[in-house]
A and B are shown apart, each in its own frame.
Chain A
Amino acid sequence: AQSVTQPDIHITVSEGASLELRCNYSYGATPYLFWYVQSPGQGLQLLLKYFSGDTLVQGIKGFEAEFKRSQSSFNLRKPSVHWSDAAEYFCAVGGGRGSYIPTFGRGTSLIVHP
């Protein structure tokens, strides 16, 4: 069975500081990996996804994530956080088309201090 662990429930950073949100997954084959962001009162929006190829994936809003098969990780990074990045971030893992039903992590709440 596939699963996702986001070990940090809350992360607090100062505006302008760098950010890394952790995600570990369990999946029996090559996974499809996703990061979503949820702003207060909104639905989830896709930040980036990894299917194959280059293990460093660029997304929207200046975010990137790196797939590390040996560590079963897909950590999200941003070099300089803006106050508007304060939100809930969800990592998800799924398979290919035909078996694609993603499993979401519990989420990490990002708090940004001025």
Chain B
Amino acid sequence: DAGVIQSPRHEVTEMGQEVTLRCKPISGHDYLFWYRQTMMRGLELLIYFNNNVPIDDSGMPEDRFSAKMPNASFSTLKIQPSEPRDSAVYFCASSYGNEQFFGPGTRLTVL
């Protein structure tokens, strides 16, 4: 398996623009997680899905953030409109059981 795949790896955008981050989990995994990592706040869990259903989105910072998982092999995290404080590395992880497998992350820079 190729592992968790994220795209793009880097995204630079201007404030106010819509940003969409994509994730393909490992086949057969039933949990999918979105994290945000910054120097100030460390690794934050934004939202997670179980069998494509959002279970807990209490970590989503604002209504500007939304996440979907239309099927077992694809998830998106959207920020609309983006702001400079959204600049961070966003990780997707998937699991079946207790071990999470992380993707390489998307480094987002909002100017």
Contact = CB atoms under 8 A, between A and B. Distances in A.
A62 to B, nearest CB: 19
The A contact surface, by secondary structure, is: loop
A104 B36 CA distance: 12
A102 B100 contact: yes
9 contacts: A36-B102, A43-B93, A43-B105, A44-B100, A46-B100, A49-B98, A97-B97, A97-B98, A107-B42
Contacts of A100: 95, 97-98
Dominant secondary structure of chain B at its interface with chain A: strand
Contacts, number: 43
B34 interface: no
Given A32-B98, A49-B99, A101-B48, A42 B43 contact: no
A90 B105 CA distance: 16
Interface string A80-93: 00000000001000
Interface residues of B, number: 18
Contacts of A42: 104-105
Given A42-B104, A94-B98, A101 B45 contact: yes
Chain A contact residues (Cβ within 8 angstroms of B): what range?
A: 20 to 34
B16 to A, nearest CB: 28
Interface string B75-91: 00000000000000001
A35 to B, nearest CB: 12
B45 to A, nearest CB: 7
Nearest to A45: B102
Interface in B59-80: none
